Amino acid sequence: MFLFLQTTLNGLVLGGLYSLAAVGFSLIFGVLGIVNLTHGIFVVAGAFGALVLYNEFGLDPLLAMLPVGIVLFAVGYIYQRTVIHWAISRASLVASLVVTFGVAMIGRNLMQLTFGPDAHSITPSYSFSSLTFGPLQIDVVRVVALGASLVLLLLLALVLAKTHFGRAVRATAQQPLAAELSGLNVQRLHGLTFGISAALAGASGAIIGIVQPFTPASEVAWTLNAFIVVVLGGIGSPAGALVGGILLGLINAYTAQYIGPSLTQAAMFLVLVLMLLLRPNGLLGNAFGESR
C-alpha cells in the first residue's frame, strides 16, 4: 500500500512536469492547427539554457526560468513569423509538420555540436534533500517542480480566460477569418502564441533539468510526450494538458514500478493508440470546438 502511494506520488510529480512541458504544444495545436515537432527542442534548449546560467553565474534553475523563458519567447515568435508562416503560405498546413521536423533535426544537431551528445543534469544545493510524510518520501526538487508547474499552468489558464489577449487567442482559434475581419491581427497573435508556447516549454526544461538527466536527443521524447499528453487530455487548454500530463505521469510511474522500467515507453504508446481509437479528441475534448 505504501509502495502504491509512493508510486502514485511519483507519478503525480512527473505528471506536473509533463503537463507544463506539453501545454505550449497543445496551445499551438489548438490555435494554429499545427503539430509542432520542434517543441521538444524548446524544452531541451530551456534545460541547456538553465544549465549554462547555473554553471556560469550560479543562477538557481528556478530563477533561470525567467531569462530562459524570455529568450525562448523571442525565438518562438520569430520562428512563427518566418519559417512557419512561409511554410503555411507557400505549401500547406501539413507541410509545416515536415518543416518543424526539419528544424528539429537542425536544432538537435546544433545542440550536439555545442554540448556534446552526453547526458547532463543540473544539481543545485537542494538536489539531494528530501521531505518525508510519515512513510512517504519525496525529493525537494520534485515538490518544487510540481509547484512551479502548477503555478505556471494556472497563470496561463487565467491569461486565456480573463485577458483581452486570451479572448483574442480563442477567437482566432475558432474562426481565424472572422477574427481577422473583426480587426484582430491574426498573424501577430499566432506569433505570440508560438512565443508563449516556446517560453513555457523552456521554463519546463529548466525544471526538468534538475529532476532528470537530459541530452540533445531527448527532444524526440519530449515532443512525443507532448503529443501523447494532448491526445490523452484534449487539445488547446491548460486543463487538458494537466489531465493528460498527470495521466501520462501515472502510467509511467505504475508501469515502471509494477511491470518494468524498460517498458514505460511501450505502455505510453499503447495507451496513446488505444486512446486515439476510443476517444480521439481526448478526455476534455478540443478547447476550441471542432473548428478544424
Partner 1 sequence: MNRSLAIIAALAALIVIAVLPLWMPPFYTRVVQLFFFSAALATAWNILGGYTGYWSFGHTVFIGIGAFASAHLVTHLGPFGSGPWSMVVPVLLSGLICGLFAAILAYPILRLRGIYFAIAMLGVGQVVGELVTNISWFQGGVGVFLAAPVPQGMPPEQFFYYLFAGLLILCLAVSFWVRHSRFGYALLAIREDEDTAMMLGVATERYKIAAFVMSAVLVGLLGAVYGYTVGYFTTSSVFRLDFSLNMIVFCLIGGIGTLFGPVIGTAVMLLLTQVLLSGFLDIHLLITGVIVVAIILIMPGGILGALRPKRRASASKAEPAAKVQS
Residue 114 binds partner 1 (CB under 8 A): no
Minimum Å gap between C-beta 199 and partner 1 is 23
Minimum Å gap between C-beta 215 and partner 1 is 14
266, 52 contact by CB (below 8 A): no
Stretch that binds partner 1, among 72-80, 119-127, 177-185, 270-278 (CB under 8 A): 270-278
**Chosen residue from 86, 155, 167, 185 binding partner 1 by CB under 8 A:** 86
Comparing CB distances to partner 1, the nearer of 6 and 81 is 81
Using the structure block, give the residue that is written with the C-alpha cell 544549465: 51
Q: Which three cell numbers stand for residue 46?
A: 530551456
Residue 74 binds partner 1 (CB under 8 A): no
Minimum Å gap between C-beta 172 and partner 1 is 16
Minimum Å gap between C-beta 83 and partner 1 is 7
Name the amino acid, one letter, at 135: P
Residue 118 binds partner 1 (CB under 8 A): no
Residue 108 binds partner 1 (CB under 8 A): yes
In the range 24-43, which residues lie near partner 1 by CB under 8 A? 33, 35
31 contact partners, CB below 8 Å, separation of at least 6: 169, 172, 173, 189, 190, 193, 236, 288
Q: Which three cell numbers stand for residue 45?
A: 534548449
Residue 279 binds partner 1 (CB under 8 A): no
Gyration radius of the chain over CA positions: 19
Stretch that binds partner 1, among 105-113, 127-135, 191-199, 242-250 (CB under 8 A): 105-113
- Taken in order 142, 28, 156, 205, is the CA torsion positive or negative? positive
Report how far apart, in Å, the C-alpha atoms of 199 and of each of 187, 210, 233, 247, 251 are: 18, 18, 21, 24, 27
Residue 95 binds partner 1 (CB under 8 A): yes
Residue 224 binds partner 1 (CB under 8 A): yes
Minimum Å gap between C-beta 272 and partner 1 is 5
Report how far apart, in Å, the C-alpha atoms of 283 and of each of 21, 183, 251 are: 19, 34, 15
171 contact partners, CB below 8 Å, separation of at least 6: 178, 179, 182, 184
Minimum Å gap between C-beta 94 and partner 1 is 4
Minimum Å gap between C-beta 290 and partner 1 is 5
Query: Residue 157: what are its φ and ψ, rounded to 5°?
Result: -60, -40
28: left (phi over 0), alpha (psi -120 to 50) or beta: alpha
Residues that bind partner 1 (CB under 8 A): 33, 35, 83, 86-87, 90-95, 97-99, 101-110, 112-113, 220, 224, 227, 231, 235, 260, 262-263, 265-266, 269-270, 272-273, 276-277, 280-281, 286, 290, 292
